[in-house]
Amino acid sequence: MKTTSRKAEIIAEASQLFKEKGYSAVTVRDIAQAMGIKAASLYNHIEGKQEILSVLILDLAKEFTSGMNAILKMNNSPLQKIEKLIELHIDITVNQSEALAALNNDWMHMAETDVNNFVVMRETYEENFRTIIKEGIAQGQLQPRHPEVILFSILSTLRTLYLWYQKRGKLDVNLLKRDMVAVLIRGIV
Amino acid sequence: MKTTSRKAEIIAEASQLFKEKGYSAVTVRDIAQAMGIKAASLYNHIEGKQEILSVLILDLAKEFTSGMNAILKMNNSPLQKIEKLIELHIDITVNQSEALAALNNDWMHMAETDVNNFVVMRETYEENFRTIIKEGIAQGQLQPRHPEVILFSILSTLRTLYLWYQKRGKLDVNLLKRDMVAVLIRGIV
DNA sequence: ACACAAAACTAACGTTTGTTAGTTTGATTT
DNA sequence: AAATCAAACTAACAAACGTTAGTTTTGTGT
């Protein structure tokens, strides 16, 4: 059964190394060694080191974008939308944690065009999130805090979840979702 | 008035570059250019590229450690201690944001001994924080959520604050503290 | 058995990397 | 005026970098 292409295997292997040391500190020889082949052999499958990074990041960014769009279409309350967004991030984290590391830390090392596309996608995503929060405040469903503080505190928690999930012995995803929603939305007191 | 040594100037300049591109992507020639001198001239002041990183990270780690120790000595309630910790992070972020980027993202690129010291300091810090949270739960002051989820959601927000503070036009520190404490502790609903 | 394509290989390339060695500059002290 | 010293310089190094070119191996369908 050959379900994964060689290119996909390379990208998967590279993403783990990128997560550990960052894109710039990983050499193509490192990636090749992890694959059990020589560095030059990689170029039968990829165009270059940067392509790996771009595939990793842009594919994931698209996943966030389409997840956001799906949530925007639902006619739920702002608070319910935020809950859905938290669950979206957790789902992506659970099976894409390596790509998340690259997206968070190494996006600026993509080719210029890709960086520009990425930044637009990211700003759009944040703007959509911000709008949901503002609606929640306007409707009296959320506390009247500075929307930027709310956006940031939720988003930074979710964005770095990949660092922390998995080192704590894989706690159950549904338990994680429940407690995370509770903590982020209802606080800890 | 010569209040800052040349070495300190180099470290300050380097930390800005590290924040933008990460340690590995910054060359000593980049740092030299930012200083307006040649790369070789740096070595009159520093032992090597790694030394810059270690000074940045370990000095900051010590600051967190002594801040934590001061808070542990106070006889406040767990909740009050957490508020103090949030303020500690905000204070450090406001005037050390470049070093924070290195501490978060590039600690693994220090020399092995320094990495080991750092990891111990970090684990100790987290363990102290976790203990405070557990006490808060035990005393009924905090909601009975998974302590790890609480610890993580607070800490990850505070740790990445440096990314976000300053691009939003330097909102007032006291306002930031107040809203951040409110959001992290009392939630958003 | 043969042809073909996928995927590995060896060898090398031009650059860039961090760093060292030895020298010159410019200001301050004696 | 001579000596001192911090801090810059030029020149070069060996090693590591991403990548290319050309060749050989391996597996698959005919």
Q: CA of B136: how far to CAs of A7, B116, B132, B151, in Å?
A: 50, 31, 6, 12
Number of Cβ within a 10 Å radius of residue A56: 26
CB-CB neighbors (< 8 A) of B182 in chain A? 143, 145
In a domain, B23, yes or no: no
Contact residues on chain B for A179, CB-CB shorter than 8 A:
145-146, 149
Structurally, chain B folds into a number of domains equal to 1
**Chain A contact present for B108, CB below 8 A:** yes
A9 within domain boundaries: no
In which residue are the tokens 């770095």 written? A160
In a domain? residue A66: yes
Q: What is the pLDDT along chain A (189 residues), one digit of tens a residue?
A: 345 789 999 999 999 999 999 999 999 999 999 999 999 999 999 999 999 999 999 999 999 999 999 999 999 999 999 999 999 999 999 989 999 999 999 999 999 999 999 999 999 999 999 999 999 999 999 999 989 999 999 999 999 999 988 776 667 899 899 999 999 999 887
Nearest CA in chain A to B26: A24
Query: Which residue's CA shows the smallest distance to C1' of D12?
Result: B40
Residues of B in contact with A180 (CB under 8 A): 149, 153
Does residue A165 lie within any of the structural domains? yes
Distance CA B119, CA A49 (A): 30
Considering only CA atoms, which of A101, A89, A115 is closest in space to residue B153? A89
Q: Is B176 or B62 the better-scoring residue by pLDDT?
A: B62
Domain-located, residue B16: no
Collapsing DSSP to helix, strand or coil, A179 comes out as helix
CATH code: domain of residue A179: 1.10.357.10
Q: Which of B103, B153, B160 to mutate to test the interface with A (most CBs of A within 10 A)?
A: B153
* HEC string for A126-171: HHHHHHHHHHHHHCCCCCCCCHHHHHHHHHHHHHCHHHHCCCCCCC
Q: Is B139 inside a domain boundary?
A: yes
Residue type, B3: T
Domain for residue B24, yes or no?
Answer: no
Residue span of the structural domain in which B93 resides: 49-186
Residue B148 to residues A102, A120, A123, B120: CA-CA distances in angstroms?
A: 24, 34, 30, 18
Find the nucleotide nearest B47 (Cα to C1′): C19
Q: What is the DSSP string of A61-118?
A: HHHHHHHHHHHHHS---HHHHHHHHHHHHHHHHHHHHHHHHHHHHSGGGS-HHHHHHH
pLDDT in tens, B118-156: 999 999 999 999 999 999 999 999 999 999 999 999 999
Residue A15 lies in a domain: no
CA B155 – C1' D17 distance (Å)? 37
